Protein backbone atom coordinates (compact mmCIF):
# COMPACT_ATOMS: atom_id res chain seq x y z
CA UNK A 1 0.00 0.00 0.00
CA UNK A 2 2.74 2.42 0.99
CA UNK A 3 4.63 1.47 -2.13
CA UNK A 4 1.60 2.06 -4.29
CA UNK A 5 0.94 5.52 -2.81
CA UNK A 6 4.56 6.40 -3.29
CA UNK A 7 4.32 5.24 -6.87
CA UNK A 8 1.16 7.32 -7.47
CA UNK A 9 2.86 10.42 -6.13
CA UNK A 10 5.87 9.82 -8.35
CA UNK A 11 3.61 9.36 -11.36
CA UNK A 12 1.69 12.51 -10.52
CA UNK A 13 4.87 14.56 -10.21
CA UNK A 14 6.15 13.03 -13.41
CA UNK A 15 3.00 13.89 -15.33
CA UNK A 16 3.02 17.45 -13.96
CA UNK A 17 6.64 17.80 -14.99
CA UNK A 18 5.83 16.57 -18.49
CA UNK A 19 2.98 19.04 -18.80
CA UNK A 20 5.21 21.97 -17.99
CA UNK A 21 8.34 20.51 -19.61
CA UNK A 22 8.34 22.04 -23.08
CA UNK A 23 9.25 25.55 -21.96
CA UNK A 24 9.00 28.29 -24.47
CA UNK A 25 12.59 29.33 -25.08
CA UNK A 26 11.58 32.95 -25.56
CA UNK A 27 10.22 33.03 -22.02
CA UNK A 28 13.44 31.73 -20.49
CA UNK A 29 15.62 34.37 -18.90
CA UNK A 30 18.81 35.04 -20.82
CA UNK A 31 21.13 35.85 -17.95
CA UNK A 32 24.21 36.27 -20.12
CA UNK A 33 22.51 38.73 -22.44
CA UNK A 34 21.08 40.67 -19.53
CA UNK A 35 24.43 40.72 -17.69
CA UNK A 36 26.19 42.00 -20.81
CA UNK A 37 23.61 44.74 -21.24
CA UNK A 38 24.15 45.82 -17.64
CA UNK A 39 27.93 45.74 -18.09
CA UNK A 40 27.67 48.01 -21.10
CA UNK A 41 25.39 50.43 -19.23
CA UNK A 42 27.60 51.08 -16.21
CA UNK A 43 31.24 51.60 -15.46
CA UNK A 44 33.16 52.23 -12.28
CA UNK A 45 34.01 55.91 -12.02
CA UNK A 46 37.20 56.79 -10.13
CA UNK A 47 36.97 60.35 -11.51
CA UNK A 48 33.62 60.77 -9.75
CA UNK A 49 35.05 59.29 -6.56
CA UNK A 50 37.94 61.78 -6.62
CA UNK A 51 35.57 64.76 -6.67
CA UNK A 52 33.18 63.17 -4.18
CA UNK A 53 35.98 62.44 -1.69
CA UNK A 54 36.75 66.17 -1.46
CA UNK A 55 33.10 67.09 -1.04
CA UNK A 56 32.61 64.44 1.63
CA UNK A 57 35.63 65.71 3.53
CA UNK A 58 34.32 69.28 3.44
CA UNK A 59 30.54 68.94 3.66
CA UNK A 60 29.50 65.36 4.49
CA UNK A 61 32.01 64.14 7.10
CA UNK A 62 29.43 61.62 8.39
CA UNK A 63 29.98 59.69 5.14
CA UNK A 64 33.72 59.26 5.58
CA UNK A 65 33.32 55.82 7.09
CA UNK A 66 30.93 54.64 4.37
CA UNK A 67 32.11 52.49 1.48
CA UNK A 68 30.52 54.09 -1.55
CA UNK A 69 30.49 52.66 -5.08
CA UNK A 70 30.59 55.33 -7.79
CA UNK A 71 29.20 54.44 -11.19
CA UNK A 72 28.66 56.33 -14.41
CA UNK A 73 25.62 55.25 -16.38
CA UNK A 74 25.73 55.45 -20.17
CA UNK A 75 22.93 56.08 -22.59
CA UNK A 76 19.53 57.68 -22.22
CA UNK A 77 18.37 57.78 -18.63
CA UNK A 78 14.99 59.35 -18.09
CA UNK A 79 12.19 59.17 -15.60
CA UNK A 80 8.75 60.55 -16.43
CA UNK A 81 10.22 62.50 -19.32
CA UNK A 82 13.00 64.11 -17.29
CA UNK A 83 16.68 63.38 -17.61
CA UNK A 84 17.86 61.61 -14.47
CA UNK A 85 21.07 63.25 -13.30
CA UNK A 86 21.93 60.66 -10.72
CA UNK A 87 20.70 58.23 -8.15
CA UNK A 88 21.76 57.61 -4.58
CA UNK A 89 21.20 54.09 -3.33
CA UNK A 90 21.59 52.57 0.09
CA UNK A 91 22.32 48.92 -0.56
CA UNK A 92 20.13 46.25 1.04
CA UNK A 93 22.11 44.23 3.56
CA UNK A 94 22.47 41.20 1.28
CA UNK A 95 24.16 43.39 -1.32
CA UNK A 96 26.34 44.99 1.31
CA UNK A 97 27.46 41.49 2.19
CA UNK A 98 28.08 40.52 -1.44
CA UNK A 99 29.67 43.75 -2.66
CA UNK A 100 31.27 45.19 0.44
CA UNK A 101 29.65 48.55 -0.38
CA UNK A 102 27.27 50.42 1.89
CA UNK A 103 26.05 52.95 -0.62
CA UNK A 104 26.07 53.49 -4.36
CA UNK A 105 26.02 56.72 -6.27
CA UNK A 106 25.15 56.49 -9.95
CA UNK A 107 25.75 59.52 -12.14
CA UNK A 108 24.42 60.09 -15.64
CA UNK A 109 27.57 60.01 -17.81
CA UNK A 110 26.16 62.39 -20.42
CA UNK A 111 25.34 64.95 -17.74
CA UNK A 112 28.77 64.45 -16.12
CA UNK A 113 30.51 65.09 -19.44
CA UNK A 114 28.76 68.37 -20.12
CA UNK A 115 29.21 69.76 -16.61
CA UNK A 116 32.21 71.83 -15.69
CA UNK A 117 34.14 71.34 -12.45
CA UNK A 118 31.77 73.50 -10.40
CA UNK A 119 28.69 71.82 -11.86
CA UNK A 120 30.09 68.40 -11.03
CA UNK A 121 30.70 69.48 -7.45
CA UNK A 122 27.17 70.84 -7.13
CA UNK A 123 25.68 67.63 -8.58
CA UNK A 124 27.72 65.39 -6.27
CA UNK A 125 26.99 67.54 -3.24
CA UNK A 126 23.31 67.25 -4.08
CA UNK A 127 23.44 63.48 -4.56
CA UNK A 128 25.51 62.91 -1.43
CA UNK A 129 22.95 64.87 0.55
CA UNK A 130 20.46 62.08 -0.22
CA UNK A 131 22.40 59.72 2.02
CA UNK A 132 20.66 60.38 5.26
CA UNK A 133 20.88 58.56 8.56
CA UNK A 134 18.39 55.86 9.51
CA UNK A 135 15.46 56.97 11.60
CA UNK A 136 12.80 56.58 8.98
CA UNK A 137 10.58 59.45 8.12
CA UNK A 138 9.07 59.40 4.69
CA UNK A 139 11.31 61.47 2.44
CA UNK A 140 9.76 63.88 0.00
CA UNK A 141 10.46 63.09 -3.64
CA UNK A 142 13.34 65.06 -5.04
CA UNK A 143 12.69 67.50 -7.85
CA UNK A 144 16.34 67.31 -8.78
CA UNK A 145 19.06 69.90 -9.06
CA UNK A 146 17.44 71.70 -11.98
CA UNK A 147 14.00 72.15 -13.47
CA UNK A 148 14.09 69.78 -16.42
CA UNK A 149 16.18 67.21 -14.65
CA UNK A 150 15.43 64.85 -11.88
CA UNK A 151 17.35 62.64 -9.57
CA UNK A 152 16.45 59.34 -7.99
CA UNK A 153 16.46 60.05 -4.38
CA UNK A 154 16.50 59.16 -0.82
CA UNK A 155 18.89 56.58 0.40
CA UNK A 156 18.81 55.96 4.07
CA UNK A 157 21.55 53.79 5.32
ZN1 LIG B 1 18.00 64.81 -5.66
Grouping H, G, I as helix, E, B as strand and the rest as coil, residue 46 is helix
- pLDDT value of residue 1: 47
Q: Which CATH architecture has domain 41-156?
A: 2-Layer Sandwich (3.30)
- Distance from residue 127's CA to the centre of ligand 1 (Å): 6
Task: Read off the pLDDT of each residue in 119-126 and give the average, rounded to a whole number.
Answer: 96
For residue 8, the CA-to-ligand 1 centroid distance in Å is 60
pLDDT for 64-77, tens place per residue? 999 999 999 999 99
pLDDT at 136 over 60: no
- The percent of residues above 90 in pLDDT, for the chain, comes to 61
CB 103 within 8 A of CB 68: yes
CA distance 94 to 132: 20
CA of 104 to the centre of ligand 1 (A): 14
Distance CA 46, CA 63 (A): 17
Please give the distance, rounded to the nearest whole angstrom, from the Cα atom of residue 37 to the centre of ligand 1: 26
Rounded mean pLDDT of 63-91?
Answer: 94
CA of residue 71 to ligand 1 center, whole Å: 16
Cα gap 48→37, rounded to integer Å = 22
CA of 34 to the centre of ligand 1 (A): 28
> How many angstroms is it from 76 CA to the middle of ligand 1?
18
pLDDT confidence band for 89 (50 / 70 / 90): very high
pLDDT for res 129: 93
pTM over 0.75: no
H or E element at residue 132: strand 131-132
Amino acid sequence: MEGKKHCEVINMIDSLAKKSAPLNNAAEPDFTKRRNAIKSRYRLAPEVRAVADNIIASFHPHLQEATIAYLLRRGTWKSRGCVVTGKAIAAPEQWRFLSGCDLALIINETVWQVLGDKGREVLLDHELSHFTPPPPTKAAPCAGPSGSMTCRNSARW
